[in-house]
Structure 1
Amino acid sequence: MQNSSISKITLEGREFLVKRDDLIDPFLAGNKYRKLYALLQTPDNKYSKIISYGGTQSNAMLAIAAMCHKKKWKFVYYTKPVSKSQKEQKRGNYFYSLNFGMEHIEIEEELYRDFIASLRVNSDEKTFIIDQGGANTSAKEGLGVLAEEIRAEMLDVKSVATPSGTGTTALFLALALPEFKVYTTPCIGNTTYLKEQMSALGDIPSNLIILEPKKKYHFAKPYREFYTIYKKLQEAGIKFDLLYAPAMFEALLNQVDEEVLYIHSGGVSGNESMLKRYEQKFSL
């Protein structure tokens, strides 16, 4: 795959550069492509099965499903119980992942945590386990490639931004780009949770700056201010996801003054189901 291009947008009178990782692939794109880069380079015969877990809105789930379809690996994905309406949807990440051959297994909520903790106990050498959101040390290689692409552009900008779920992308990008400021904001849980997730993968460097959200946001819940930013970004010429990008741009607009290179996280395939929820909640 070729290096992703860089675009420029204007949002509320501010200029932002955007690293177009969303254009790498329709399903295997954005930071999930970077996280899965090492596995994509792995010979097809090294593994026969990939296991992961998390939520059914997950962009990582879809990216892993697309990768496994490409590599002809079995993909097993564990979640807590899913609603009947979710299972019947004919759009969104869950639907597309099933079409890629994902085997979905539901675990009762009271058993879920212990079950996930035991996944590696009976694992064999042909099975690779990817933690929720792609939070694995193997992601470091792909973020190193991204860092080299950014350096090769010889930009005047010395600040980059990427939103965080587990913080894997932000952490490894900051480690690979010590001469840059790397801004992020927690989109799942709070700052304390984000730091805990990142610390499990490595030491948090001083150039990684976590921007505190202006209020507590619940992941995947519709917020009118997020939809407003999403529409403004769309009008600026680029489609972004509804789960991560609005939170990151809101933090940048309110807390950062310098010009920033935003790393597009991809994930726009999940907008189909999210927009439906926004329409229902706000009568759009």
Structure 2
Amino acid sequence: MQNSPLSKIILEEREFFVKRDDLIDPCLAGNKYRKLYTLLNTPNNTYNTLISYGGTQSNAMLAIAAMCQKKKWQFIYYTKKLSATQKNECEGNYAHALALGMEHREIENDYYKEYIASLRLNLDEKTLLVDQGGALEAAKKGLEVLAQEIRKQNTTLHVKALATPSGTGTTALFLALALPEYKVYTTPCIGDSAYLKEQMNALAKIPSNLIILEPKKKYHFAKPYPEFYEIYQSLHVKGIEFDLLYAPAMWQALLEQTNEKVMYIHSGGVSGNKSMLARYKKKGLI
């Protein structure tokens, strides 16, 4: 695969560069391609089953489903109990992942955490557990490849700060470790900074060049907010579509709390926008 290109946009009279990882692949795009880089290059006969868990809006879920279809691996995905509306959705990541062959299994809410913890106890050598959001130590290699691309593309731009939103923080953490000469901005999109640091510390020590921008307002993940849609629209008219789950929070933090030239690492995930836009419309926010 060739390096993903850069785009330049002007937003609120500031110049930003966007690393277009969203253009890598319709399903295996953005930070999910980087996280799964090692697995994508793993021989097909290494595993026969991948297991993961999380929410049905998950971009990682869809990316893993696409990868497993390519490699002919069984993919089992665990969630809490779903509503009838969620089960019957015809668009969005959940429906797409099922079409790619994902086997979905529901766990009663009261037993969910305990059951997920027990998954590690019953793995054989042909079965791999991928933690929620694609958080795995093997993701480090893919982020090192991304770091090499950024260094080459930045030789004439002189950008000294990068940005990427965080769920588990895997992308931001390994990117900061691979690029110690850059500031790497991130913001927590699931939970708060304390939760984010806990997730990252489970993978590696957080380096000093990784800067967590705390949102000025408490946001609930995947809930529609008018200011998020406004940012989404402002970016969309510049010619780039970003996801509605993570990107708005990161862009808002950058606009409010930074002032230098920044390269934004596009995390992909736009395949989930159809279902999110339907929610915005239902709530009268569009």
Structure-2-length-normalised TM-score: 0.98
Question: Are residues 249 and 122 of structure 1, via their aligned partners in 2, closer, same or farther at CA, if it must alter by over 3 Å?
Answer: same
> Residues of 1 paired with 2:209 and 2:225: CA distance?
30
> Residues of 2 paired with 1:250 and 1:219: CA distance?
15
AA aligned opposite 1:161 = A
SS at match of 2:51: strand
Q: Deviations over 1:27-66 (max 9, x none)?
A: 1100000000000000000000000000000000000000
AA aligned opposite 2:68 = C
The aligned counterpart of 2:62 is: 62
The aligned counterpart of 2:271 is: 269
Matches within 5 A, 1:162-177: 162-177=164-179
> Residues of 1 paired with 2:11 and 2:69: CA distance?
37
SS at match of 2:206: coil
The aligned counterpart of 1:32 is: 32
The aligned counterpart of 2:210 is: 208
Corresponding position: 1:244 with 2:246: yes
The aligned counterpart of 1:138 is: 138
Matches within 5 A, 1:1-284: 1-153=1-153, 154=155, 155-284=157-286
AA aligned opposite 1:246 = P
SS at match of 1:236: coil
SS at match of 1:120: helix
AA aligned opposite 1:29 = A
AA aligned opposite 1:200 = A
SS at match of 1:213: coil
AA aligned opposite 1:198 = M
SS at match of 2:50: strand
Aligned residues: CA RMSD: 0.6
AA aligned opposite 1:111 = Y
Stretches of structure 2 that go unaligned for 5 or more consecutive residues are: none
CA offset at residue 283 of structure 1?
4.8
CA offset at residue 282 of structure 1?
2.1
AA aligned opposite 1:214 = K
CA offset at residue 152 of structure 1?
1.0
SS at match of 2:167: coil
CA offset at residue 94 of structure 1?
0.1
SS at match of 2:283: helix
Deviates more, 1:274-283 or 1:262-271: 274-283
SS at match of 1:275: helix
> Residues of 1 paired with 2:189 and 2:133: CA distance?
12
Question: Are residues 46 and 156 of structure 1, via their aligned partners in 2, closer, same or farther at CA, if it must alter by over 3 Å?
Answer: same
> Residues of 2 paired with 1:265 and 1:115: CA distance?
30
SS at match of 1:17: strand
CA offset at residue 10 of structure 1?
1.2
Q: Deviations over 1:198-252 (max 9, x none)?
A: 0000100000000010111000000000000000000111000000110000000
Deviates more, 1:272-281 or 1:10-19: 10-19
AA aligned opposite 2:270 = V
Q: Which runs of 4+ in 1 moved over 3 A?
A: none
Q: Deviations over 1:108-164 (max 9, x none)?
A: 011110111011111000001100001110100100000000011113101000000
AA aligned opposite 1:143 = L
> Residues of 2 paired with 1:83 and 1:19: CA distance?
37
Q: Deviations over 1:41-95 (max 9, x none)?
A: 0000000000000000000000000000111100000000011111111100000
| Count of aligned pairs | 284
Question: Are residues 283 and 171 of structure 1, via their aligned partners in 2, closer, same or farther at CA, if it must alter by over 3 Å?
Answer: closer
> Residues of 2 paired with 1:279 and 1:10: CA distance?
28
